[in-house]
Amino acid sequence: MKEIGTVKALRGNNAEVEIKRNSACGDCGACHVSKDQSVMLTTAKNPVNAKCGETVEVEMQFANVFVAAFIMYGIPLIAFILGSCVAYYLVGVLSLGWDQVLTSFLTGISLTAITYLVIRHFDRQGRFNSKYQPVITAVIEKIETISTPMEKRMGN
């Protein structure tokens, strides 16, 4: 998956790259960009030594995109389902007198939140950054960006 962006800041061997959001971009939340924003800011490895203000090509391996999506969505979903099912079963078997459905739902939600906190902790430790981080593959001289029909009408 390749994108075109502009280097905004340098941080050691990494660069903060501003990438224009395209119409094919979904709502996965990985880039921390809402539907209303037109650009996203990401940290990318900078092996080509791009400088601030340069236009660059940023690439992330397609397989890594799926793995990252699984980490952010699949694992918490599995935690929710397992937590709900196990709690539902245990409340029924142990006859605790608790509401089976409410207890299983709250347990599932709690495990999902805990899972997100664990993923966030590992991400802040840098366990995901190096493997799933985008890489600047080239510095692009001067390109003509593809404008959407609305941008053409607006003069951008």
Highest mean pLDDT among 18-22, 29-33, 84-88, 149-153: 84-88
Show me where the domains of the chain are located.
Answer: 2-60+133-154, 64-129
- Retrieve residue 9's tokens: 């800041």
Q: Are 133 and 44 in contact (CB under 8 A)?
A: yes
Q: Please report the pLDDT score of residue 46 as a whole number.
A: 84
Per mean pLDDT, which of 4-18, 67-81, 115-129, 131-145 is the most reliable?
67-81
Q: For the ranges 33-37, 41-45, 86-90, which has the lowest average pLDDT?
A: 33-37
Structure tokens at 154: 């607006």
In contact, 31 and 132? CB cutoff 8 Å:
no
Fold for the domain defined by 2-60+133-154: OB fold (Dihydrolipoamide Acetyltransferase, E2P) (2.40.50)
Q: Burial, 107: exposed, middle or buried (Cβ in 10 Å; 0-12, 13-18, 19+)?
A: buried
